[in-house]
Amino acid sequence: MLSLITSGQDLIRGWHKKSINGILFLCNQYMNNRQNKDPKSMRPRLSIDGITPGKPKKSGGSISFDRPSSYNLDQPQKKIDNFKRSEGFDPTTARSSVIEIPKRPQYDRPEEKKRRFFGLRKNKRSPYHRVDSYEKKAKRRKRLKIAGIILFILLAIFGFLVAKGYINLRKVLSGGGGAAALQENVDPSKLRVEGDGRINILLLGRGGEGHEGADLTDTIILVSIDPLAKEAGLVSIPRDLYVKVPGEGSMKINSVYHTGKAKVLNKSRNPNNETKKQAENSGFDLVENSVEEVLGIPVHYHAMIDFKGFQQAIDTVGGIDVNVPKAVREQMRIDGRNYLLNVPAGQRHMQGFEALAYSRSRHTSARGDFDRSERQRLIIMALKDKVLSVGTFSNPAKLSSLLDQFGNHVQTNFSSQDLNKLYQIVKDIHGPSVRSIGLADPPNNFVTTSNLGGLSVVIPRAGVNNYKEINSYIRNTLKDSYMKRENASVIVLNGTGRANLGSTKADELKSYGYNVVKVDNAPTRNYSKTVIVNLRGDEKKYTRNYLEKRFKILATNNLPDASIQAKTADFVIILGNDISAR
């Protein structure tokens, strides 16, 4: 019996030692895991009798526990007593370990603040990584929503301005005109007639809605630009010039636009926008043809502005500076009110209304309408200088404001591309390079006042509808850019039996700006067809192009008669009987 008790005590003592060692191993493993801060190690595992062991290992259907080799169950272990909790663990004697929670990152750099504002994470393994709370996500959604609303408003405003600008641009720049000289190194075949080497723009001014004679063009100015020499000329056409309009009879030139427009409108009882546009184009075509006949040069573009648009355009650019040659004082009635115009001679800054009154004044001037035309040219030149000096075309805000003012008051057949190319040319043309030309300005006074059937009109000094002198003067004053640059010398020979044919044709060529150096008879005078001999190859290609189109034949490179002495001439023209028939 005693032996049995002793054996039982030994068994209990052995089991006790093993249990104590197992408990120590588990506690040590737990504390190590706490110190390593491994979240995975703190997961709850298999529990037996309230003890959480290490990694269990299955062996033969029973559960065994691994223990480090440093624990020797045969050696006495330190006694653990004074357990204060039921599971036998004393928190006062246990080694503690504090889990440090990473502090919230401080975003000092601007890009980090931006990321923080939108709730973005730097990357998943970065110390900035965090799981957003519901409140943070809500704030982020709110910020994004506000940003989206602001962006939408900005886009809406931008879209409105673009649409408004486009509508006004379409009103002002309808397109349809064209000048080959706007291109650089233009192909000679694109130039139809002499004068196409320049850019010719017809400016028309009318009263507009609310004025008596709303469609009467009291201002008619042709602006001719030399894109190669960077020069320009302004030609005023008297509003009372008496002209003959094919199919419409004779009238003052300021009534031609109105006549062409009314011709279309009178055919329609209820004109719509398309019909009105057709009527306006009909008016422009009619007045352009009349101007081409009077001046003898082609018109490539037109631009019409009414009094209101003229005044607003000047106000938009902050007024203009005009060098007034003569003092003007006149009591006037403008826009339904009385106004005293008093402009002294000298430099003068004018706002829109005063500039309009100055350009319309004529009753107190010695030459009446001729002096008024001169003042209108001064205003146009001053406006051009001001528009370019303030950079209107390169400033979207100023250009948009100018288009707003022009929207319902200006009509042109420019396209936006043409206008941009024109700006690149005009910006290099300065005051001294702009010539003011009047048909009644001595010594080149080609027109005079007259009375026809009780109607006070202006007619050419050469006679009614005789514009030969005016044509020659304008063509040579505003000479084709390419003809002027090449300055080709031409010999004209009469190859027919018709007397004076050579001198007649030479005078005609001179009127177009050709440099005719010699006029004579050909060695033989039996040429049935005209011959053009080009002695310079492609060196004078623009002049060759114009001569071929004028005579409707192609040039040859060889003289048909070796006895012809061309000397230094660039071209020799031998007139044939086909010319005399024209």
Least confident of 33-37, 431-435, 463-467: 33-37
Higher pLDDT, 238 or 82: 238
Band (47; pLDDT cuts 50, 70, 90) = very low
The token pair that represents 390 in the structure block: 């303030």
Segment 216-221 mean pLDDT: 91
Do 395 and 342 contact (CB within 8 A), yes or no?
A: no
* 371: three-class secondary structure by DSSP: helix
The dihedral built from the CA positions of residue 350, 402, 299 and 419, taken in this order, carries a sign that is: positive
Per mean pLDDT, which range of 269-278, 325-334, 412-421, 422-431 is the poorest?
Answer: 269-278
50 burial via Cβ count (<10 Å: 0-12, 13-18, 19+): exposed
Residue 507 pLDDT class (50, 70, 90 cuts): very high
Higher pLDDT, residue 518 or 373 = 518
3-class DSSP assignment, residue 572:
strand
Mean of pLDDT values over 108-125 = 51
Q: Are 502 and 494 in contact (CB under 8 A)?
A: yes
Confidence band (pLDDT; 50, 70, 90) for 58?
very low
CB of 367 closer than 8 Å to CB of 440: yes
Residue 4 has pLDDT above 50, yes or no: no
Quick one: pLDDT at residue 334? Answer: 81
Q: Average the pLDDT over each of 79-93, 124-138, 154-168, 318-332 and give the range with the smallest value.
A: 79-93
What is the pLDDT confidence band of residue 71, given thresholds at 50, 70 and 90?
very low
CATH numeric code, 487-580? 3.30.70.2390
How confident is residue 382, by pLDDT bands cut at 50, 70 and 90? confident
Confidence grade of residue 41 (pLDDT, cut at 50, 70, 90):
very low
371 vs 225 pLDDT, higher one: 225
**pLDDT the model gives residue 113:** 52
Tell me: pLDDT of 3 over 70: no
Q: What are phi and psi of 240, to 5 degrees?
A: -95, 10
Query: Given this chain, do its domains 180-477 and 487-580 carry the same CATH topology?
Result: no
- Assess if CATH 3.40.630.190 describes domain 180-477: yes
Q: Are 506 and 519 in contact (CB under 8 A)?
A: yes
pLDDT digits (tens, 9 = 90+) for 525-567: 999 999 999 999 999 999 999 999 999 999 999 999 999 999 8
Confidence tier at 116 by pLDDT (50, 70, 90): low
Does the pLDDT of residue 185 top 80, yes or no? yes
Q: Where does the pLDDT of residue 347 fall: very low under 50, low under 70, confident under 90, or very high at 90 and above?
A: very high
What's the mean per-residue pLDDT of the chain? 78
Strand (E) or helix (H) holding 357: helix 352-360
Give the pLDDT score at 5: 42
Length of the chain: 582
Q: What is the pLDDT of residue 144?
A: 76
Highest mean pLDDT of the ranges 104-108, 122-126, 407-411, 535-539: 535-539
* pLDDT over 80 (residue 417): yes
Share of the chain above pLDDT 90, in %: 42
What confidence score (pLDDT) does residue 432 get?
83
What is the mean pLDDT of the segment spanning 270-293?
90
- Residue spans of the domains in the chain: they are 1-101, 180-477, 487-580
Distance between CA 242 and CA 505 in Å, rounded? Answer: 28
- pLDDT at 458 (0 to 100): 94
The structure's pTM equals: 0.69
Give CA separation, 229 vs 221, 425, 433, 539, in Å: 21, 10, 9, 19
Radius of gyration of the chain (CA): 49
What's the pLDDT score for residue 501? Answer: 94
Asked if the model's pLDDT at residue 404 lies above 90, the reply is: no
Q: What's the pLDDT at 111?
A: 55
Q: What is the pLDDT of residue 98?
A: 52
C-alpha span between 223 and 376 (Å, rounded): 12
**CB within 8 A of 433, min separation 6: which ones?**
230, 231, 232
Q: What is the mean pLDDT of residues 211-225?
A: 87
Which of the two residues, 467 and 130, has the higher pLDDT score? 467
Does pLDDT of 135 surpass 50? yes
Of the listed ranges 28-32, 130-134, 373-377, the least confidently predicted one is: 130-134
Q: Provide mean pLDDT across the span 184-213.
A: 88
Of residues 107 and 25, the one with the higher pLDDT is 25
Query: According to the model, what pLDDT value does residue 50 have?
Result: 46
The pLDDT value recorded for residue 186 is 93
Least confident of 164-173, 518-527, 547-556: 164-173
Cβ distance 295 to 512 under 8 Å? no
Residue 122 reports pLDDT greater than 50? no
Structure tokens at 192: 């139809």
More confident residue, 477 or 127: 477
Q: Residue 444: which of 411, 418, 478, 420 has the closest Cα?
A: 478
| pLDDT higher than threshold 50 for residue 346 | yes
What's the per-residue H, E or C state across 114-171? HHHHCCCCCCCCCCCCCCCCHHHHHHHHHHHHHHHHHHHHHHHHHHHHHHHHHHHHHH
> b/e per residue, 462-472, with b = 16+ CB within 10 A?
eeeeebebbbb
Percentage with pLDDT > 70 across the chain: 69
More confident residue, 194 or 396: 194
Per the model's pLDDT, the better-predicted residue between 131 and 306 turns out to be: 306
